[in-house]
């Protein structure tokens, strides 16, 4: 049972002492007291099914016993040291983590957050290639540090006067749902629609070529001498609302970038560690081996840690200065990281993501087929999005107050979903990978009920 300060007291402390820029969006934000696997408990002892995992971070389950034990053992021995000494854990972990990568992706730099990982990747790409310019896709999210804020292409997350890096270009997002080309069937997802799509891969995916042509134009018009340092892309856009790209686009884009002097950076902050089900890394689903991979969130199941993995050659480009990071890969982080990798393997969580995620997608597709306001369901594994629209034809987003009504009701019935997308109308479903089919059934029943109640009222 919860023994902390009262709800009212906490609300007052929050109002008086935390930055006012934090928003909850729930009318009455939850006061979370504890968590176990896919469940969260509030101060009153109510239980919630966590379908967002602290923003795609709790990968193997809240307070997973094996991860807890690894951390407990480590804190009894040593919390922290620096890389001027050697400590076994960071070496053991570096070997275990890099073993998960194809090709020559063998060198790891440990840092503390996704933003830091992408900061470092930007620096590496520029030093390695000698080029300045970087491409990202509109609607992407790569971080909030001044450097990575330049990569992020969502006005919500961009501040004026932040001093963002120059030479960053946001190219047209190859979004087959809201974009001008493509349809549901050109995405790599187990659910297809019976709605017509003129770009199945078999008949030649028109969407991929059209978006690719747009990318080529950027090289012609915006890049000095047509040269580029890097292109960054999430394997599936997370904050942007689980946006999947038409099959083949990422592969072609990576080839174009390399042909023009650049490296391809896969941001696996949300899609890594088995979440997409079919592969351990999201980029594998695009059939590429990136030059640099950044990861955070699920890597530590909630422990603040992150990493950049690249080839020894690219890593060497930092050689002209020292790489230094006080906490990166410290004994606690490394102990947690090792335990997370072990749990994913022992409990076959990648396979679970595939099986339970596919079941989830099919159940949500039934909602899409019964309700006009469910415009789209997409994703793979446990990286799922459900887009609410006010008009199926124009795909106009459902207004935020309406979306919040449905979202809030789900919470009141015991299920926590995430929300995102430029217009805030997309349910983001990315639970701890330990969920099972009965959790899915419960979550879909709750969502079904919340939508039908909303429609009855509006
Ligand atoms: N990349 C992606 C794809 C992300 O989703 C996020 C966080 N939402 C980041 C980078 C930045 O991570 P952090 O918040 O740990 O800096």
Whether ligand 1 lies within 6 angstroms of the CB of 114 is answered as yes
If you average pLDDT over residues 431-449, what whole number do you get? 98
What is the pLDDT at residue 165?
A: 82
- Select from 115, 149, 430 the residue to mutate for testing ligand 1; criterion: most ligand atoms less than 8 Å from CB: 115
If you average pLDDT over residues 61-74, what whole number do you get? 98
Interatomic CA distance for residues 160 and 189, integer angstroms: 37
What is the pLDDT at residue 21?
A: 86
Tell me the residue ranges of DSSP E strands in 251-382. 263-267, 292-295, 306-310, 374-380
Quote the pTM value: 0.97
Interatomic CA distance for residues 437 and 449, integer angstroms: 18
**Does residue 424 register a pLDDT over 70?**
yes
Q: How far is the CA of 136 from the centre of ligand 1 (A)?
A: 14
Q: How far is the CA of 448 from the centre of ligand 1 (A)?
A: 30
Our measurement of the distance from residue 70's CA atom to the centroid of its chain's CA atoms, rounded to an integer in Å, reads: 25
Q: What angle do CA 21, 140, 186 make, to 5 degrees?
A: 140
Q: How far is the CA of 456 from the centre of ligand 1 (A)?
A: 38
Q: Rounded to the nearest 10 degrees, what angle do helices 249-259 and 206-222 cross at? A: 30
Q: How far is the CA of 452 from the centre of ligand 1 (A)?
A: 34
What is the pLDDT at residue 199?
A: 56
Cα–Cα nearest to 112, from 85, 141, 84, 143 = 143
Whether ligand 1 lies within 6 angstroms of the CB of 239 is answered as yes
What is the pLDDT at residue 200?
A: 47
Whether ligand 1 lies within 6 angstroms of the CB of 238 is answered as yes
Interatomic CA distance for residues 168 and 219, integer angstroms: 12
Atom of ligand 1 nearest to the CA of 268: 3
Structural element, H or E, at residue 389: strand 383-391
Share of the chain above pLDDT 90, in %: 86
Whether ligand 1 lies within 6 angstroms of the CB of 272 is answered as no
Whether ligand 1 lies within 6 angstroms of the CB of 113 is answered as yes
**Does residue 166 register a pLDDT over 90?**
no
What is the pLDDT at residue 342?
A: 98
What is the pLDDT at residue 194?
A: 59
State the burial class of residue 93 (Cβ atoms within 10 Å of its Cβ: 0-12, 13-18, 19+): buried
Whether ligand 1 lies within 6 angstroms of the CB of 112 is answered as no
**Does residue 432 register a pLDDT over 80?**
yes
Cα–Cα nearest to 289, from 269, 263, 270 = 263
If you average pLDDT over residues 88-101, what whole number do you get? 98
3-state class of 24 per DSSP? Answer: coil
Q: How far is the CA of 141 from the centre of ligand 1 (A)?
A: 7
Q: How far is the CA of 363 from the centre of ligand 1 (A)?
A: 29
Q: How far is the CA of 5 from the centre of ligand 1 (A)?
A: 31
Handedness of CA 105, 110, 113, 117 (dihedral sign): negative
In the predicted model, what is the mean pLDDT of the chain?
95
Our measurement of the distance from residue 235's CA atom to the centroid of its chain's CA atoms, rounded to an integer in Å, reads: 9
Share of the chain above pLDDT 70, in %: 97
If you average pLDDT over residues 383-400, what whole number do you get? 97
Atom of ligand 1 nearest to the CA of 143: 11
**Does residue 250 register a pLDDT over 60?**
yes
Whether ligand 1 lies within 6 angstroms of the CB of 129 is answered as no
Residue 176 CB partners (closer than 8 Å, separation 6+): 182, 183, 184, 186, 187, 199, 207, 244, 245, 246
Q: Classify each residue of 273-306 as buried b or exposed e, where b means 16 or more C-beta atoms within 10 Å of its C-beta.
A: bbbbbbbbbbbbbbebbbbbbbbbbbbbbbbebb
Interatomic CA distance for residues 264 and 155, integer angstroms: 24
H/E/C letters for each residue in 301-337?
CCCCCEEEEECHHHHHHHHHCCCCCCCCCCHHHHHHH
**113-117, 154-158, 320-324: the lowest-pLDDT one:** 320-324
Whether ligand 1 lies within 6 angstroms of the CB of 189 is answered as no
Interatomic CA distance for residues 129 and 229, integer angstroms: 6
**Does residue 443 register a pLDDT over 50?**
yes
- Select from 137, 267, 296 the residue to mutate for testing ligand 1; criterion: most ligand atoms less than 8 Å from CB: 296
Atom of ligand 1 nearest to the CA of 237: 3
Atom of ligand 1 nearest to the CA of 140: 3
Q: How far is the CA of 281 from the centre of ligand 1 (A)?
A: 16
Q: Residue whose CA is closest, atom 8 of ligand 1?
A: 239
If you average pLDDT over residues 99-119, what whole number do you get? 98
Interatomic CA distance for residues 392 and 372, integer angstroms: 6
What is the pLDDT at residue 197?
A: 54
Q: How far is the CA of 200 from the centre of ligand 1 (A)?
A: 32
**Does residue 170 register a pLDDT over 80?**
yes
Between 96 and 156, where is the model more confident?
96
Q: How confident is the model at residue 195 (pLDDT cuts 50, 70, 90)?
A: low
What is the pLDDT at residue 324?
A: 86
Interatomic CA distance for residues 92 and 15, integer angstroms: 44
Cα distances (Å, whole numbers) of residue 196 to 184, 346, 437: 9, 42, 30
Whether ligand 1 lies within 6 angstroms of the CB of 142 is answered as yes
What is the pLDDT at residue 205?
A: 65
Whether ligand 1 lies within 6 angstroms of the CB of 268 is answered as no
Cα–Cα nearest to 37, from 438, 451, 456, 433 = 433
Q: What angle do CA 353, 242, 121 make, to 5 degrees?
A: 90
Evaluate whether 254 touches 212 at the Cβ level (below 8 Å).
no
Whether ligand 1 lies within 6 angstroms of the CB of 410 is answered as no
Query: How are strands ordered across the β-sheet holding 415-416?
Result: 32-36, 39-42, 47-50, 415-416
Atom of ligand 1 nearest to the CA of 239: 5
């Amino acid at each position: 049972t919860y023994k902390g300060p009262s709800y009212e007291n906490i609300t007052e402390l929050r109002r008086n002492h935390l930055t006012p820029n934090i928003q909850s969006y729930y009318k009455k934000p939850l006061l979370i007291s504890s968590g176990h696997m896919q469940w969260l408990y509030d101060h009153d002892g109510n239980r919630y099914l966590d379908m967002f995992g602290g923003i795609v971070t709790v990968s193997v389950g809240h307070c997973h016993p094996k991860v807890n034990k690894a951390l407990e053992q480590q804190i009894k021995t040593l919390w922290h040291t620096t890389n001027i000494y050697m400590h076994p854990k960071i070496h053991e972990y570096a070997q275990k983590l890099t073993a998960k990568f194809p090709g020559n992706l063998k060198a790891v730099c440990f840092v503390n957050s996704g933003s830091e990982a992408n900061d470092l990747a930007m620096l590496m790409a520029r030093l390695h290639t000698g080029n300045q310019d970087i491409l990202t896709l509109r609607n992407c999210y790569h971080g909030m540090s001044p450097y990575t804020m330049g990569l992020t292409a969502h006005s919500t997350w961009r501040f004026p006067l932040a001093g963002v890096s120059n030479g960053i270009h946001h190219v047209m997002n190859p979004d087959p749902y809201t974009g001008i080309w493509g349809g549901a069937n050109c995405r790599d997802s187990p659910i297809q629609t019976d709605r017509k799509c003129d770009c199945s891969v078999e008949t030649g995916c028109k969407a991929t070529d059209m978006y690719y042509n747009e990318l080529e134009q950027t090289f012609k018009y915006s890049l000095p001498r047509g040269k580029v340092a890097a292109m960054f892309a999430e394997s599936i856009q997370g904050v942007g609302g689980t946006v999947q790209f038409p099959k083949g686009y990422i592969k072609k884009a990576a080839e174009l970038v390399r042909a023009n002097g650049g490296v391809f950076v896969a941001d696996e902050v949300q899609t890594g560690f088995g979440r997409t089900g079919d592969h351990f890394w999201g980029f594998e689903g695009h059939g590429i081996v990136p030059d640099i991979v950044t990861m955070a969130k699920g890597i530590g199941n909630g422990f603040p840690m992150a990493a950049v993995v690249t080839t020894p050659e690219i890593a060497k480009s930092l050689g002209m200065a020292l790489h230094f990071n006080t906490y990166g890969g410290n004994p606690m982080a490394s102990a947690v990281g090792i335990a997370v990798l072990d749990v994913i393997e022992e409990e076959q969580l990648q396979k679970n993501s595939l099986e339970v995620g596919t079941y989830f997608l099919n159940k949500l597709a039934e909602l899409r087929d019964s309700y006009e306001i469910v415009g789209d369901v997409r994703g793979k594994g446990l990286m799922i999005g459900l887009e609410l629209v006010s008009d199926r034809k124009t795909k106009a987003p459902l207004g935020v107050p309406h979306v919040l009504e449905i979202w809030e009701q789900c919470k009141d019935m015991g299920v926590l979903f995430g929300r995102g997308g430029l217009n805030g109308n997309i349910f983001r479903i990315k639970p701890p990978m330990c969920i099972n089919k009965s959790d899915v059934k419960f979550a879909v029943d709750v969502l079904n009920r919340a939508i039908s109640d909303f429609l009855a009222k509006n």
